[in-house]
A and B are shown apart, each in its own frame.
Chain A
Amino acid sequence: MTKCHRRTIFRTVLLFLTVTLAAGLISSSNCANIYLTLNTTKSVYGIGEEASIWGNVTFSAGLGGGLIPDALVAIEVDNPQGIPVILRTKTTGQLPAASNITILSLTPSDQSGNPLYTFRRGTLSYFKASLSNTAASRYVQITLNIFDARNVAYESFITFAGLLYNGTTTLIISDPVPQDISPGNATAYLNVFTALPGVGGYALCPESSAVFSIIDGSSPPPISEEQPPLGFYNLTFHIDNYQTTRMFRPGNYSVFANCKYQTEVSNATGNFQIVLTGDINRDGIVDIFDAILLSGSYNAVLGGPRWNANADFNFDGIVDIYDAIILANNFGKKA
């Protein structure tokens, strides 16, 4: 690697760390030989915001401490009810060496498995997945996680749990398309875990994705996820609490990330909070009580005597007119 390359990577990493300065390192618990970190860009997100989970995987100091560019990180985000809303596998830049289990294909389909790329809201969508296991049969959990055109997760569940036998296994999975999600290009992700990351499971292969179209209504612009530097992983999703799915309800969310690299396993856990923007007293509704609290903290600065962090909706360290406008725009909303 040339000096120039190293400098570029260093700058990129520095930039990445800088833009996520507001984030808190959640926590990490690691084995002796590799080290997984887990961060979120913020510790509190409002409904309608973009959330990012990121981190890196490195060798331990004893092994040189270098970034591992081809690790798989299994990520689970649980909502306040303990229901997984995100189940994904991210790489730290490059695909790892071929594993015994691979997802050969994931294709949106009709109920017989014939390719079909367009579904209407309020109908059933289908996905045909083919998986290969070149080794002895082993227990797996196969999950499906679907994001709509605004990158809001509207589906996340274990579709199959059992032994994946040697050879090829084909699944056809049905899933209802909620009536109130955003139309446009949605993306389904199929993952294969030893168990859910929240109970210590790790990914057995890279995830597979399939793009399909949800029609019936106007589409928002497509979402693109920023590619992190090698050795890092990044997962970005939009937070919205659709009435039909109600997956992103306000409350405390748990994040689990597990990485198995060669024979080494490392995991990290943490949490973040989703709040109803404007809901200063956290009672699930933006109302006059919140307005009174905001007025009580009006013009208060970070660390000052009347400071109320819950009223600083834009996180600029002062409760001012911008926060009042945000409250006004959300007035009357319920969790």
Chain B
Amino acid sequence: MQWCNLIDEEGGVSLKRRLGALTLAEIILISTLLLVNQGGFLPPRVEAAPTTIQVTPTNSTGYLNETLYVNVTVTDVTNLFGWQFKLYFLNSILKCTSITSGPFLTSLGSTFDIFDIVNDFNSTHGRILAASTLMGGGNSANGTGVVAMLQFNASGLGLTPLSFESTKLTDNQSPPQTIPHTPIGGNAVVTEAPVQVIDVYTQRGGTGGNKSSDAFAPGETIFFNASLKYQGAPVPGIIVQFLTYDPHGTPTARTAVTGADGIASLNTTLPSNPLFGSYLTFASANTHGSDYNDTVDYKVGWIVNIIQVVTCNCTGFTQTQFPRGTLAYFNITLENLSFNNKQLFMLLGANDGFGATIAQECICFAIPYGQTSILFGFRIPPWTLPGVGQAFVGAYNNPPWNGGIAYCPGHYLPLSITGG
């Protein structure tokens, strides 16, 4: 069998050979021990779930010439400190383009990684060799988590097994001990991409079937385009219906007619106080006797928003009163709606009850998509007059004294200062 041969090429020993190496006496002894155990002579044990290293999802699908994502997950593990695997695939179906460490170990600290992608390992198979270990003597991982994220280009039609070999899981003992586990491979199927007759998108993306566009802020104008092509040729003069659902599910319908290029366009300017959240625009048209449709979704909100500001101590516990001369901290949660990093200049200022500045701090960095929490601290001057002051947190694209523009409304909150 082709797969057995592959394993042997790698210097492994097949199961067949291993079984063949057992003598009759050994087989009888093992069988006897198994029977004795089933008979209840050994104390009953509560079996922990077996540790596995597996391809997730087990069966993945992708379209030809598109990217296919597969994770490698370790399940029900205790004290995982390092891992290794080889993964084989048919190189006529997939080409591996990247491998990155998953969060299971990287969330615990720095890792040392070895990644080797060989798409033409032999005439039929590609091979990924991946290994990673935490550095230092710190925490190890427990439970279930993704250890590696693989990215393939779907280069051919068909099914390929994703088969493990030489998997190793180790703990952080000195010397490291092997963690027993079961490798579970998977399959990937590559099919032809469905023909996209209509494709709706905005000026910030969303091309392709049912894809997402980047976000929009209040007051911005969204330009929608719906491209209508039949067998690759633009279809002019067709009415396209655009149906936009706001975050409450309320629809708004509009229409536009495709031009000579087969594109129907319209735009809408968001009010200064739009409903924040996820929007979905549905475009549909009838051509050559059939209905076709596509969607694009996008978020509307402050592109960078201050979600929450809480006064606290240095460990993040909420604190509402601060004796003068002590440290005050702000736990600030921010969100970037954009798919792209945004340059953020965050300003934190504080005044005492008489308006005198008692702190002004700034941080400037490229905030990635999603939520970010930071703890920012300052010392309240010992000469501050007790009373209720005010703190301000603002998010800008540049320093405001250099013409920076606010991403969102600032947050004001009381700052209670006591005598110290």
The chain A residues found within 8 Å of chain B, CB to CB, are 31-32, 111-113, 122, 124, 126, 136-138, 155, 157-176, 178-179, 194, 244-245, 260, 263-265
Contact = CB atoms under 8 A, between A and B. Distances in A.
Nearest to A110: B360
B367 A174 contact: no
A158 to B, nearest CB: 5
Given A136-B106, A168-B365, A263-B135, A112 B379 contact: no
23 contacts: A32-B174, A112-B401, A138-B110, A157-B314, A157-B377, A157-B379, A160-B363, A160-B374, A160-B375, A160-B377, A161-B314, A161-B374, A164-B365, A165-B368, A167-B341, A167-B365, A167-B366, A170-B362, A171-B362, A171-B363, A173-B361, A263-B136, A264-B136
B44 interface: no
B317 interface: no
Contacts of A174: 359-361, 378
Q: Is the interface of A mostly helix, strand, loop or mixed?
A: strand
Nearest to A157: B327
A197 to B, nearest CB: 14
Nearest to B334: A162
Nearest to B374: A162
B376 A176 contact: no
B373 interface: yes
Interface string B265-289: 0000000000000000000000000
B112 interface: yes
B383 interface: yes
Contacts, number: 102
A158 B375 contact: yes
Interface of B: 106, 109-110, 112, 135-138, 174, 314, 325, 327, 341, 357-368, 372-383, 399, 401
B375 to A, nearest CB: 4
B382 A260 contact: no
Contacts of B365: 164-165, 167-170
Nearest to A137: B368
Contact of B383 (A173, A175, A176): A176
A162 B363 CA distance: 12
Contacts of A112: 399, 401
A169 B344 CA distance: 10
Contacts of A136: 106
A165 B377 contact: no
Question: Which 4 A/B pairs are nearest by Cβ-Cβ distance?
Answer: A162-B374, A176-B381, A161-B375, A172-B362
